[in-house]
Amino acid sequence: MYDVLIIGAGGAGLSAALSSKKEGAKVAVLCESYPTRAQTSMAQGGINAALGNVEKDSINLHIEDTLKSSGEIGSKEMISKMCKDAPNTVKWLESIGMPYSRTDEGKIAQRKLGGASSIRACYAQDFTGLKILHTLYDQCLKEDIEFLNEKFLLEFVVQDNLIKGAICLDIRTTETEFIKAKSIIVASGGFSGLYYNFTTNTNQSTGDGIAAALRVGAKLSNMEFVQFHPTGLKKSGILISESARGAGGYLVNEKGERFTDELGPRDRVSRAIFSELENGEVFLDIRHLGEEFIDEHMPQERKLAITYEGIDPVDELIPISPVAHYSMGGICVDENLMSLVEGLFGVGECSESGVHGANRLGGNSLLEILSFGKLAGENSAKFSKSYDYKDAGTKQHDSVKKFIQEIYEYENRENFYENRELLGELFYKKAGIIKEEKALKETLLEVEKMQENYTLMGLGDRSRVYNTNLVEFIKFKNTLTLGKALLVSAIKRKESRGAHFRSDFPNTDENFDHRSFYDEV
């Protein structure tokens, strides 16, 4: 049995593991893949902290920018907590080996991201997330933290509203396992993978931890707010970071004209591009930055554009399109990062702690996962010491085993992979950058139809060894659960705020100036 079991090995999970271990907890990190493959590794732009290394900045300005970006529905208390801790967090990471890019004076280099009133994002070329993840993982190995790799979270076990452990699928054997724990930190990432083929996210981003938490009584919040990033590569959705515009890149239409403020908030820039796309292609132009600058600061992005778009940004325009990027909503947690279920904590993109509100400021997610990751680790370790564990029995495990067995017996009349693609396109067109009641309701009907037909979309591969078809099928079920939560919440919010834009309610309405909640199972 563990004091602290962490679900997910991204930046949030690994930071939490280090701090709970420091508190003396027996800790393990469970993940469906391997730690260095978490989506955190894809982050390019940077991590915010008001260090003022390049130009004058202050913690108050950071707080103000974050609150403004949140559409005024972020929690001032949580935002202040995170922004005040940012310089410490960035330096803590440096102390364990993070290779930040440097200024000529040897200070941590910083750059400007959209919506920020100062140059604030600390970075490591355009490999910021990758370097963060590797630094944390190295430290976890030094601290001898236990990893349970290739184990897929299925359900949480809860008794009398107290967490008892998690049931997972061993992907290698397809056997299920009940892992007992006195507290659990969900750090399993967001759910923008729902916008399949129209997202910067990986296929792992199906919000499994959020869906499992909902099933055991944790409320979700702000599920209608999904951030679209203005500059995904047109063919693949792969991200070209905001830092390209921060460094002076232009957005231009087919006539070569600039049509918007490139460094406005992501929602505004995405909508401007979306409208412009009706008249033809839109491009990011960074040619004038020069080869030397591009290779120094954006080597990865240049390579991605060459490999996946077939163009070299040094002397060609980059065709782009806005794509789903970040889910602001998730497991609703309190100031201690605990959900409504006792001992079940949530941190990182899977959680809604009040720091992003209706729209996340670029550079604040990496900050949240590290700063609050440490906090979640401390709090869960303390929680686990506060009571004696009583055994939970095997009833819930038996019903999960039965569920897996039943999946093997489902018919395979409909191909769920086709439905997953259909769903991605449907959400992008009808529940994406611009929303409207009729389209949202039509999409909800489609989701409910897919939920009804789930048992007709069984497995094509019925093997018992390393069955990725089984894992993806279960992920698809979670996607449907969260897709419904998104739609129901979006229908209810009859206004426009941050990333949630309703063409039928284009203005902000003070009747909605608060978090929204969702608890339908």
Ligand X SMILES: Cc1cc2nc3c(=O)[nH]c(=O)nc-3n(C[C@H](O)[C@H](O)[C@H](O)COP(=O)(O)OP(=O)(O)OC[C@H]3O[C@@H](n4cnc5c(N)ncnc54)[C@H](O)[C@@H]3O)c2cc1C
- Which of residues 432 and 495 has its CB atom nearest to ligand X in the complex? 432
Nearest-angstrom CA–CA distance, 99 and 101: 7
Q: Which of 5, 9, 252, 333 binds ligand X (CB under 6 A)?
A: 9
Question: From edge to edge, which strands make up the β-sheet containing 220-221?
Answer: 351-352, 330-332, 220-221, 517-518
Nearest-angstrom CA–CA distance, 182 and 226: 32
Nearest-angstrom CA–CA distance, 475 and 204: 8
What is the phi-psi region of residue 71: left when phi exceeds 0, alpha when psi lies from -120 to 50, beta otherwise?
left
Element (H, E) at 186: strand 176-186
- Which of residues 347 and 440 has its CB atom nearest to ligand X in the complex? 347
Is 274 a residue that touches ligand X (CB under 6 A)?
Answer: no
Is 371 a residue that touches ligand X (CB under 6 A)?
Answer: no
Minimum Å gap between C-beta 505 and ligand X is 28
DSSP 361: P
Minimum Å gap between C-beta 178 and ligand X is 15
Length of the chain equals: 521
To the nearest 10°, the Cα dihedral for 240, 245, 247, 252? Answer: 110
Sequence-distant (≥ 6) Cβ neighbours of residue 206 within 8 angstroms: 191, 193, 194, 475, 476, 478, 479, 482
- Which of residues 120 and 500 has its CB atom nearest to ligand X in the complex? 120
Which of the stretches 245-253, 270-278, 365-373, 490-498 binds ligand X when contact is defined by CB under 6 A? 365-373
Rg (CA), the chain: 22
Is 318 in contact with 330 (CB distance < 8 Å)? no
Minimum Å gap between C-beta 513 and ligand X is 25
Minimum Å gap between C-beta 427 and ligand X is 17
Whether 215 sits among the annotated catalytic residues: the reply is no
Look up residue 291 and give its two tokens: 């080869």
Minimum Å gap between C-beta 47 and ligand X is 6
Q: Which of 178, 326, 345, 518 binds ligand X (CB under 6 A)?
A: 326
Is 97 in contact with 377 (CB distance < 8 Å)? no
* Binding positions for ligand X, 233-252, rule CB under 6 A: 239
- Which of residues 32 and 446 has its CB atom nearest to ligand X in the complex? 32
Q: Spell out, one character per residue from 449 to 488, where the chain touches ligand X: x when CB under 6 A holds, - when not.
A: ----------------------------------------
Minimum Å gap between C-beta 191 and ligand X is 10
Q: Which of 244, 331, 366, 499 binds ligand X (CB under 6 A)?
A: 366
Is 126 in contact with 132 (CB distance < 8 Å)? no
Residue tagged active-site, from 245, 266, 502, 515: 266
- Which of residues 242 and 495 has its CB atom nearest to ligand X in the complex? 242
Q: Which of 28, 79, 163, 369 binds ligand X (CB under 6 A)?
A: 369
* Residue 197 backbone phi and psi in degrees, to 5: 75, -5
- Which of residues 9 and 294 has its CB atom nearest to ligand X in the complex? 9
Q: What is the DSSP string of 406-449?
A: HHHHS-B-S-HHHHHHHHHHHHHHHBTSSB-HHHHHHHHHHHHH
Longest dimension (CA), the chain: 69
Is 11 a residue that touches ligand X (CB under 6 A)?
Answer: yes
Q: Tell me the number of residues near ligand X by CB under 6 A.
A: 42
Sequence-distant (≥ 6) Cβ neighbours of residue 465 within 8 angstroms: 172, 173, 174
Is 363 a residue that touches ligand X (CB under 6 A)?
Answer: yes
First-to-last C-alpha distance (Å) of the chain: 29
- Which of residues 38 and 49 has its CB atom nearest to ligand X in the complex? 38
Is 10 a residue that touches ligand X (CB under 6 A)?
Answer: yes
* Binding positions for ligand X, 35-54, rule CB under 6 A: 38-40, 42-47
Q: Spell out, one character per residue from 118 to 147, where the chain touches ligand X: x when CB under 6 A holds, - when not.
A: ----------xx------------------
Element (H, E) at 267: helix 266-276
* Binding positions for ligand X, 142-181, rule CB under 6 A: 152-153
Which of the stretches 138-146, 173-181, 201-209, 498-506 binds ligand X when contact is defined by CB under 6 A? 201-209
Contacting positions for ligand X (CB under 6 A): 7-13, 30-33, 38-40, 42-47, 128-129, 152-153, 187-189, 200-201, 204, 208-209, 239, 326, 348-349, 362-366, 369
Catalytic residues: 266
